Structure 1
Amino acid sequence: MGAQLRVYKRRIRSVTATKKITKAMEMIAASRVVKAQRKVRSSSPYARELTRAVTAVGTGSDAKHPLTTEAENPTRAAVLLLTSDRGLAGAFNSNAIKAAEQLTERLEREGQEVDTYIVGRRGLAHYNFRERTVAESFTGFTDEPSYADAKKVATPLIEAIEKDTADGGVDELHIVYTEFVSMMTQTALGSRLLPLRLEEVAEAGTSAAEAAASTKDEILPLYDFEPSAEDVLDALLPRYVESRIYNALLQSAASKHAATRRAMKSATDNAGELINTLSRLANAARQAEITQEISEIVGGAGALADANAGSDNS
């Protein structure tokens, strides 16, 4: 076997092994994205009822609460960026990071300092490599986030917005995550969580415009608050933030798995095409070897015949 043919066969074996791996990863990602979608749907009833309660308190009282009252001149904001712990997901992480950087630039142009909170090793690695300050990071749960994980992420953010900016607090809280639209479409977007804009309150998993349309004609009940509306807000709004972050984590997880599935399918298809190309080249190399061997045999036979004819004539 010629050297070139051995090279082709070795590459075919290598690409075939890689194709098996990418195919397995594609199937795993497809299974996980279905589970993540199911979790997104199951979180909607809780978020919907919690949203109704928050809206009722906000519209049914004149309560002045730090989580619903906007600062006249905000000077500091927190941005929560959701990325993944693992790669192999195409442009999933880079799109989320780009959206966070654009949001940060806009807030800075408005005169605000920005504290960045990051979920996921990929986003953290990006900021550490560029030596950018990260207020706090959370890793290890992005593939299958739980409500406890969302609560862990929400706690320091709620504490920050409850503090005065002079004590290290923030005036606004923004979140950047990847919305799961479909298996083929995932969109990185940012939204402001706090202070709460009552006219833009949306149930987790729906856009503000959709929520406004769905509640436009809805008449909310009137409530009496015991002991006070402020105390009710103290209890409701942290849960609201946790539910929004939880939904964003689920959306990002589903988006990541969909992006991984798409990337692995593309890699599997490319591996198949490469195997076909290498197989054709290997066949051509083998045919060239056979042709050369036949030519050598024919040439040798002709030379031997000529030699025998010469000896007979002598």
Structure 2
Amino acid sequence: MAAANMKSVKLRIKSIQNTMQITRAMELVASSKLRRAKERAEASAPYFSALRQTLINIAGENTDYTSVYARENQSERHCYILIAGDRGMAGGYNANLFRTFEAESKGKDFVVLPLGKKAEDYVAQKKLSRLEGEKFLVATVHVSDCYAMARQICTLFRSGAFGHVSLVYTDFVSLMKQEPGTTCLLPLADFKDEACEISGKEGEEKKRAQNLILYEPSAEEVFDAIVPEYLAGLLYSAVASSLASEYAARRTAMEAATDNAGEMIDKLSLYYNRARQASITQEITEIVGGAEGSNG
């Protein structure tokens, strides 16, 4: 009985060792990919901030709401650009993002543009209304793809297919911290509250300077030209941040799994050695007892 138990423990140790090799390999792969993704995310972060600040300034200072991008839209339908991961084994990365999306979209009429295999699977599983278009893996999205998606979204927005556009993605804060959140993209009127809050903190000199902004030939033509470009830039920055967040989450999860596997192997090895020692002691005792019996 003891021998059979020792054999099962030994097989379990071997199985955990094989699993640990896989998790360690996945950790190394994620670490390798994370380096480049982190550099791209950090390089695009200032661009993202500058673009968003520009949109906020335009929303706060513009009084000519002739452009469809600037005025409040009558349609209550929302379009959510949902950027999730391409694979699992990343801890709570995808689950946290989907919870954020569900909380944001609750009770609203919406359509989803999913980016990433997990986002595609989530939309299909929940049977959500999907924006027609090409399917992308987050790791394969290029700047040109972002421009194509931005043009599609702007065209549908102008046609009245939906009245609000928001971005749901995971912000890469650090290697140990990734925060899922939602960012408003269109219309610019949705930025008014944030713009008022910021302008209330600014000095009078800066506000007077912003009030002198003129749009030539007209605000409508300027917005129609620059908003799709802004949208593409914001989208690309969000993709870069999401990809870095996914790799960081996977690296952390695989590191934790490797450590847990090591602890399990240590405990099982200790149990195996104790059982083996007890078995040897029992055999010696039986041999000694048999020898004493024969001598007697």
In structure 2, C-alpha distance between the alignment counterparts of 1:44 and 1:280, rounded to whole Å: 49
Match of 1:292 among 272, 278, 282: 282
In structure 1, C-alpha distance between the alignment counterparts of 2:251 and 2:91, rounded to whole Å: 10
- Alpha-carbon contact 2:112-2:128 (below 8 Å) kept: no
In structure 1, C-alpha distance between the alignment counterparts of 2:239 and 2:132, rounded to whole Å: 16
**Aligned AA (1:85):** D
Deviation of the 1:199 alpha carbon: 4.6
**Structure 1 residues not aligned, in runs of 5+:** 203-207, 307-314
Match of 2:142 in 1: 146
Deviation of the 1:45 alpha carbon: 5.4
Instruction: Compute the TM-score of the two structures, normalised by the length of structure 2.
Output: 0.85
Change (3 A) 1:51 1:124: closer
Match of 1:265 among 240, 251, 255: 255
- Alpha-carbon contact 2:175-2:248 (below 8 Å) kept: yes
Change (3 A) 1:20 1:221: farther
- Alpha-carbon contact 1:150-1:246 (below 8 Å) kept: yes
Match of 1:132 in 2: 128
- Alpha-carbon contact 1:179-1:186 (below 8 Å) kept: yes
SS in 2 for 1:181: strand
**Aligned AA (1:257):** Y
What's the RMSD between the two structures over aligned residues? 2.9
**Aligned AA (2:168):** V
- Alpha-carbon contact 2:47-2:237 (below 8 Å) kept: no
In structure 2, C-alpha distance between the alignment counterparts of 1:290 and 1:76, rounded to whole Å: 74
- Alpha-carbon contact 1:174-1:190 (below 8 Å) kept: yes
Match of 2:167 in 1: 175
Match of 1:184 in 2: 176
Match of 1:93 in 2: 94
In structure 1, C-alpha distance between the alignment counterparts of 2:64 and 2:128, rounded to whole Å: 41
Match of 1:312 in 2: none
**Aligned AA (1:147):** V
Match of 1:216 in 2: 202
In structure 2, C-alpha distance between the alignment counterparts of 1:57 and 1:131, rounded to whole Å: 37
Deviations 1:196-246 (A, max 9, x none): 1455789xxxxx98xx48x93544495665543322211100011111111
In structure 2, C-alpha distance between the alignment counterparts of 1:125 and 1:290, rounded to whole Å: 55
SS in 2 for 1:19: helix
**Aligned AA (1:41):** E
Moved more, 191-200 or 237-246: 191-200
Deviation of the 1:5 alpha carbon: 1.8
Following TM superposition, the consecutive aligned residue runs of length 4 or more in structure 1 with deviations greater than 6 angstroms are none
Counting aligned pairs with the same residue, the percent is: 33
Match of 1:162 among 154, 158, 163: 158
Deviations 1:72-128 (A, max 9, x none): x4331111111111011111111111111111114x2xxxx2112211111221232
**Aligned AA (2:71):** T
Change (3 A) 1:40 1:128: same
Match of 1:302 in 2: 292
**Structure 2 residues not aligned, in runs of 5+:** none
Matches within 5 A, 1:1-314: 2-44=3-45, 46-47=47-48, 50=51, 59=61, 62-71=64-73, 73-106=74-107, 108=108, 113-136=109-132, 139-143=135-139, 145-164=141-160, 169-196=161-188, 197-199=190-192, 212=198, 216-217=202-203, 218=206, 219-220=209-210, 222=212, 225-306=215-296
Deviations 1:152-177 (A, max 9, x none): 4323222221112xxxx111111111
- Alpha-carbon contact 1:81-1:116 (below 8 Å) kept: yes
> Number of aligned pairs?
289
Change (3 A) 1:179 1:63: same
Change (3 A) 1:277 1:303: same
- Alpha-carbon contact 1:54-1:236 (below 8 Å) kept: no
Deviation of the 1:185 alpha carbon: 1.6
Deviation of the 1:145 alpha carbon: 3.6
In structure 1, C-alpha distance between the alignment counterparts of 2:54 and 2:92, rounded to whole Å: 37
Q: Specify the structure having the higher radius of gyration (Cα).
A: 1
Change (3 A) 1:101 1:267: same
Change (3 A) 1:15 1:230: same
Change (3 A) 1:128 1:53: closer
**Aligned AA (2:106):** E
Deviation of the 1:55 alpha carbon: 6.3
